[in-house]
Structure 1
């Protein structure tokens, strides 16, 4: 039995009719489909609780879409939502733009592509990973302190910070093709710990039935 499990949840679909890269911009809320995704994730966790899993901690990024995704789980599990700024979306120089290849080829953006390995257009992958690791470790410790050995924690965050964390835990390089991220809307990446050692990383999509037709514009 793991000493603790931390679940990294990506937020649900965002209402974004203009298809802009919303990044850390405020007031981007869940769509109706996104709310339904959040409810499905909450049911997933409630079923786990009904089977004997004890949840001791729930935190979310300060952005609206993460807070709204966390709300049904908080209600289902009787937990408060704690806001952790370390879970926020990656900073991106292109937020607010409707990103396309023709737009990005404009000369005024060329300076942002000088180092794609870092990447130079936004928050470095390593910095994202560093803050996410701190958030995950804090969640592990707090969950066990509050709910005992074997406790679970839920952290609602965003695709890119979750994915670089997943890559690191698998010993893979952080630079990657964004089209190949295994972190769909309302997905759950579960990290099992034995004390401070990661025993396994599992990925699931409780809201898979709602993914067809969902907006695919990433946050960063």
Structure 2
């Protein structure tokens, strides 16, 4: 029997005093507030009173640290999966506002539907779907938690809802330590819940596009 529900959990706030787009760059771990957010997410899943039987996370530091409260609460060691990692983008290490003031960078914005500044949305959706399906089928009941990143979670939501993937990154409904939950119904992914259990007032959230 496969899983009963799958939760895509976004990582908590990252220590990013320079406010750069960190993307896949190493050395970007959670802030103190980010660790609190991650724990609030894990405690929220615990409050659902559903058995969690599998924990998966992206191999980046911020997601591994966000998975730690789930390990403490549910006693599960995370399985690292490259398929749920942050997408690549050409603006890594830069301040987005400053980068866009440079006309040389405007060429990266010419096709936002792909997007032309990074990994194609359709590729992200495909790898996320494979990772989710494999995790869903690998357990004998219970819930699966996958700790990932804003863009992979958001475009997965769009794909499941049948909405075009072209969007403004500023309009994503995927807060820090938010939880987007899915089930497979009639052989298709169906979104069943979205929650923002963490207190994020004043958080810095400028890490990726």
State the TM bucket, normalised to the shorter chain: over 0.9
- Whole-angstrom CA distance in 2 between matches of 1:130 and 1:103: 29
Q: Residue in 1 aligned with 2:75? A: 78
Aligned-residue CA RMSD (Å): 1.5
| Residue 44 of structure 1: how far off its partner (Å) | 1.4
Relative distance call for 1:104 and 1:37 in structure 2 (3 A) is: same
Cα deviation code 1:1-20 (max 9, x no counterpart): x9621100000000000000
**Superposed, which structure 2 residues align to 1:107-186 within 5 Å?**
107-144=103-140, 148=141, 151-186=142-177
Unmatched runs of 5 consecutive residues or more in structure 2? none
- Asked if residue 30 in structure 1 is aligned to residue 30 in structure 2, the reply is yes
CA distance in 2, matches of 1:113, 1:199: 31
Q: Which residue of 1 aligns with 2:92?
A: 95
Contact 1:12–1:185 (CA under 8 A) maintained in structure 2: yes
Sort the Cα spacing of 1:97 and 1:191 in 2 relative to 1 into closer, same or farther, 3 A.
same
Runs of 4 or more above 4 Å deviation: none
CA contact (8 A) 1:57 1:79 kept: yes
From the superposition, tell whether residues 67 and 3 of structure 1 become closer, same or farther in structure 2 (CA, over 3 Å): closer
Aligned length: 208
Greater Cα shift, 14-23 or 53-62: 53-62
- Look up the SS of the partner of 1:143 in the other structure: coil
Distance 2:60 2:137 in 1: 24
**1:104-159 CA distance string (max 9 Å, x none):** 13132122122111111100110110100011101111133xxx3xx210000000
Say yes or no: does 1:197 pair with 2:197: no
Query: How far apart are residue 199 of structure 1 and its match?
Result: 4.0
Kept after mapping to 1: 8 A contact 2:157/2:191 = no
State how far apart, in whole Å, the 2-side matches of 1:153 and 1:20 are. Answer: 32
Q: What's the counterpart of residue 205 of structure 2?
A: 216
